Amino acid sequence: MELTLSKGSRYKRLLTPLLLIITALFLSTHVTAEETVHSTKPSQVSPEQIEVAKAFAAALNSQDVDTIANFFDMSAFGDLVLAQMETERNIKNALAQQYKTPAFARTFAQSSFILPPNSPANFDYKGLVKTDLFGVRPLIRLDYLSGGHEFMLIFFDADNKIIDLFYATKGNLTSKSVASTTQMILPAQNRFVARLLKEDDDAEKAIESFQKMLALRQQGRFQEVLDILSTLPETMRSSRSLIDFEVLIAQNVGEAEYIDALSKLNKYYGDDPSTSFMLVDYHVTVEQNEAAMRSVEQAMAFWGEDAALYNLKANMYFLLDDLNAAIGAAKKAVQLEPEFEDSYWTLVALQDLTQDFSGLTETFAEVKKRFNPELTPQMVAESGAVANYPSSEEFKEAAARNSFAKE
């Protein structure tokens, strides 16, 4: 029997804050080729879509909510979400109406793409990636200035509006993540929630907790969000969606909290291929370096040849004491993306460690040319960035001519 969404209906009261909650908590579960909603695997991307992807990256860098929201067809996105949900028709109809509102588009853009003030980053269109799962798709990479990266694939409709994304650190489509999280916080009569919660009161309390977490997250009170997460029923806390959310929040609290959240992800879902990219930090911290390298290689198998991933691979080789391979990976990163500065500093550290001072001088010459025209040998020595280079003959010669360029 279908439920009627009357004015006093408990279902309607719960739907009121629903979209605000799910857009802030769009989280991941593993996606496979059989269950993806994007069954079409294009072999090419139109020039118009490439230009849209480039413009979208520029809009993300502007951090203007309205500009970002204009790139999306949220009605089509809502259709994708609802097609993956098991719930009553009346609830789907109510959600569909809200997906069409400008307010939802702004909320989606705000929650998905506006970065915290203390997390400056740069979005960059990196070209096309061919994947087994989705065919050829435009790729945007997010580089945090403090270190770390995110990769996202873009999906278009016939009008070249964005209708979905796939994230490396979430291992899933946004539409599927939102569908999963929406079902989690619908009332307990819903078939999906019934598998997690036994009592109606638990569902009501969970909705209230999600509302509080959203408000606290928007205020930057991340420790309090973790505190509320710890009070949720165990069946919810161990779900993939909630663990992924805990990882996201814990990153803003501290290293110990972040690793603790990753340990839960590894405990419950460590064998899931979609967690490989997310668990690199965890494996490194607990000194499971071979597992960390496998995770990096799995990510490269999906995302292809990328400078940030080769730079990460160079660091993994270093941890495995294979310095020659580490240098090779760092040089590959430089070759792939000459303007990606991080890879140069990885190469600097490795060349200093292996005492390849001739190569190190050449690397510093490139750093000076591309990133810091004022850089001098004296500045390098005073910075402490390299331990062995300042005592080498190569450095003394560079210091004497006050230049890294070899005559």
Are 63 and 186 found together in one domain? yes
Residue 4 lies in a domain: no
Residue 204 lies in a domain: no
Backbone phi and psi for residue 123, each to the nearest 5 degrees, phi listed first? -95, 135
Are 258 and 343 found together in one domain? no
Are 130 and 76 found together in one domain? yes
Are 260 and 294 found together in one domain? no
Are 115 and 36 found together in one domain? yes
Are 222 and 174 found together in one domain? no
Backbone phi and psi for residue 259, each to the nearest 5 degrees, phi listed first? -65, -35
pLDDT digits (tens, 9 = 90+) for 270-329: 877 678 788 888 999 999 999 999 989 988 888 888 999 999 999 999 999 999 999 999
Within a 13 Å sphere around the CA of 134, how many CA atoms are in the beta-carbon half? 25
Q: Which residues pair with 273 in a beta bridge?
A: none
pLDDT digits (tens, 9 = 90+) for 219-266: 889 999 999 999 988 878 888 878 888 988 998 999 999 999 999 999
Mean pLDDT over all residues of the chain?
Answer: 84
Are 127 and 228 found together in one domain? no
Contacts of 59 (CB under 8 A, 6+ apart): 67, 68, 71
Q: Token pair for residue 233?
A: 């029923």
pLDDT digits (tens, 9 = 90+) for 358-396: 999 999 999 999 999 999 999 999 999 899 999 999 999
Are 101 and 149 found together in one domain? yes
Residue 274 lies in a domain: no
Are 160 and 21 found together in one domain? yes
Show which of 163, 195, 227 is a domain's final residue. Answer: 195
Helix or strand or coil: residue 77?
helix
Helix or strand or coil: residue 137?
strand
Residue 53 lies in a domain: yes
Inter-CA distances, 48 with 156, 172, 286, Å: 11, 25, 46
Are 223 and 324 found together in one domain? no
Contacts of 9 (CB under 8 A, 6+ apart): 3
Q: Token pair for residue 244?
A: 């992924």
Query: For the chain, how many structural domains are there in total?
Result: 3
Distance CA 325, CA 176 (A): 38
Q: Which domain holds residue 164?
A: 10-195
Are 155 and 27 found together in one domain? yes
Lowest model confidence (mean pLDDT) among 79-83, 92-96, 378-382? 92-96
Are 23 and 122 found together in one domain? yes
pLDDT at site 202:
63
Residue 2 lies in a domain: no
**What's the CATH code of the domain at 369?**
1.25.40.10
